[in-house]
Amino acid sequence: MMEVTYLGVIIKAILILAIISAVAGFGTYIERKILAFMQRRLGPMHVGPYGLLQIAADGIKLFTKEDFIPQNANKLIFMIAPIITAATAFIALSAVPVFPDFTIFGIFVPSVASDINIGILFVLGMMAAGLYGPLLAGMSQANKWGLIGAARTAAQFVSYEVVTGLSLLAPIMMVGSLSLIDFNHYNETHAWMVFTQPLAFVLFLIAGFAETNRTPFDLLEHEAEVVAGYATEYSGMRWGMFFIGEYANMITIAVLASIVFLGGYTDLGFIPGWLAIILKIAFMFFLMLWVRASWPHVRPDQFMWLAWKVLMPLAVINVVITGIVIMV
Amino acid sequence: MTHALTDHPYFGVFVLVALTGIAFPATLFLARWVGRKLSRLDTERLKMSIYECGPLPTRQPNAISIQFYLIALLFILFDVEIIFMFPWAIDFKLLGWFGFAEMILFIVLLTIGFVYAWKKGALEWHSIK
């Protein structure tokens, strides 16, 4: 066990910001490629070998576009809303163990930038605060599509937050701690949580998809219904910020699912722990794209109906059954 | 992976708040500066107005369906419930049967409220049929 220095934490924070931003950018390329292969297309092929430099081309495009603010918009709120989305997504990652511990130039860099005892609660709270990004963006632009997108954002996020919280309660009861490091220790000695809590895993996955606006549930920017929802008036890098925030949130959900339900950093047969976690996160990320390619959109009323009448009662029943099983 | 030995566990959160608070606005500022240099800035009314299907839009009322407010009310009810359940879940094994029975009572009370909201039609999206 090594002492954590301020310098180590700062290095960790910079690494989180740099690597997750880069992965978010690369994630767009991977998403386009995988979706293309699932639909028997080639996807981006022209910029660089196999379209690998597509990210650079997109970046140049985003940077050189005019930063457009429509006439009747509330300028200040319109300008800070994308920063809220991106910033909260990265602040949530500060309490998540993203890569394993390592030592560089004699400085110990911890696996988690901020080893706080309320771990999961902090991550959920920060992701919930991310709601203010799309909400303020939609309400500030004085556009009806934006307003409908903002209202849908609020309804979707608050409904599925209830489900996320309740689905994680049962694992918390079994572990008796909110810290993600304790969850990892629990997984070292017990069976994977996905086998002991299958219902909680499914509920968490569905709610996680809803909280990151992945496709079966991307009602807030559904092109066919509300032009682009909250992002209708955004262009250039401001729109890119929403994208970075969304991909960072996807990675957060993938890491949470890997650590809480899929065994975390434990060795997987001959695969060492650090590689196992990366494979699990990559699989979760791929699962999100796979679902996007496979499922159609849902209607908003079906979506609310699903959250309140099916998922929430199921989650409460799961908590009660878990309690009875632990007690007996 | 072990717990970190540090007196200030929230320092990492502070560093990330500061970093994102500097890096993202700086990126947007840079993008705004580059965009102003390169783009054609004209202030034609149709361009500056909000997105519509062609004509110059009038100012639109900021009104949304009452259904969204109902969902917000339900959310306050159930999210407060969950916040009460988190500390209980951590100390679940310490509290034993007594704590479990109390939480069951709490859940039953909330279920009554939930059934009431369901029967009143708060969970239906109004006038679909």
How many residues are listed for chain A in this entry? 328
pLDDT of residue A23: 86
Closest by Cβ to A173, choosing from B10, B65, B89: B89
Partner-chain contact A309 B118, CB within 8 Å: yes
Give tens-digit pLDDT for A164-223: 888 988 888 888 888 888 888 888 888 788 888 889 999 999 888 888 877 777 776 676
Partner-chain contact B51 A82, CB within 8 Å: no
Listing DSSP states for A274-319 in one string gives HHHHHHHHHHHHHHHHHHHHH-----HHHHHHIIIIIIHHHHHHHH
Q: Which percentage of chain A shows pLDDT scores above 70?
A: 98
Partner-chain contact B9 A79, CB within 8 Å: no
Closest by Cβ to A90, choosing from B20, B60, B72: B20
B36–chain A Cβ distance below 8 A for any pair = yes
pLDDT of residue B128: 54
Q: What is the value of ipTM here, to two decimals?
A: 0.82
Give tens-digit pLDDT for A46-76: 887 888 888 888 888 888 888 878 877 788 8
CA distance A286 to A277: 14
Closest by Cβ to B49, choosing from A71, A238, A304: A71
Closest CA to A313 of A205, A196, A163, A168: A163
Residues of chain B with pLDDT under 50: none
- Mean per-residue pLDDT for A258-271? 81
Cβ-Cβ contacts under 8 Å, B2 against chain A: 1, 101, 181
pLDDT of residue A153: 83
A179 neighbors A259 (Cβ within 8 angstroms): no
- Residue A315 clears pLDDT 80, i.e. is over it: yes
Residues in Cβ contact with B65 at an 8 Å cutoff, skipping those fewer than 6 apart: A151, B126
pLDDT of residue B4: 62
User: Beta partners for A102?
Assistant: A109
- Residue A99 clears pLDDT 80, i.e. is over it: no
CA distance A251 to A24: 8
Count of beta carbons in the 10 Å neighbourhood of residue A214: 20
Count of beta carbons in the 10 Å neighbourhood of residue A110: 26
More confident residue, A73 or A285: A285
Instruction: Work out the pLDDT band at A5, boundaries 50, 70, 90.
Output: confident
More confident residue, A92 or B8: A92
CA distance A29 to A23: 10
Closest CA to A217 of A231, A227, A199, A205: A205
Closest by Cβ to B90, choosing from A3, A176, A227: A176
CA distance A53 to A319: 48
pLDDT of residue A179: 85
Cβ-Cβ contacts under 8 Å, B12 against chain A: 9, 12-13, 94-95, 112-115
- Residue A2 clears pLDDT 80, i.e. is over it: no
Instruction: Work out the pLDDT band at A1, boundaries 50, 70, 90.
Output: low
A73: left (phi over 0), alpha (psi -120 to 50) or beta: beta
**pTM of the predicted model as reported, rounded to 2 decimal places:** 0.87
Give tens-digit pLDDT for A122-179: 888 888 888 888 888 888 887 778 888 888 888 888 888 888 888 988 888 888 888 8
Lowest average pLDDT, out of A212-221, A272-281, A317-326, goes to A212-221
Residues in Cβ contact with A237 at an 8 Å cutoff, skipping those fewer than 6 apart: A62, A63, A65, A67, B27, B28, B31, B32, B35
Instruction: Work out the pLDDT band at A20, boundaries 50, 70, 90.
Output: confident
A308–chain B Cβ distance below 8 A for any pair = yes
CA distance A121 to A170: 14
A64–chain B Cβ distance below 8 A for any pair = yes
pLDDT of residue B5: 64
pLDDT of residue B127: 60
C-alpha torsion A202→A203→A207→A208, nearest 10: -40
- Residue A304 clears pLDDT 60, i.e. is over it: yes
A146 neighbors B36 (Cβ within 8 angstroms): no
pLDDT of residue A6: 79
B66–chain A Cβ distance below 8 A for any pair = no
Q: What share of chain B is helix, strand, coil (3-state, %, to 5)?
A: 65, 0, 35
Instruction: Work out the pLDDT band at A4, boundaries 50, 70, 90.
Output: confident
State whether the Cα torsion B27-B28-B33-B34 is positive or negative.
positive
Lowest average pLDDT, out of A70-74, A90-94, A315-319, B85-89, goes to A70-74
Token representation of residue B63: 């009104």
Q: Residue A224: enclosing H or E segment and its boundaries?
A: none
Token representation of residue A271: 């695969």
- Mean per-residue pLDDT for A88-95? 88
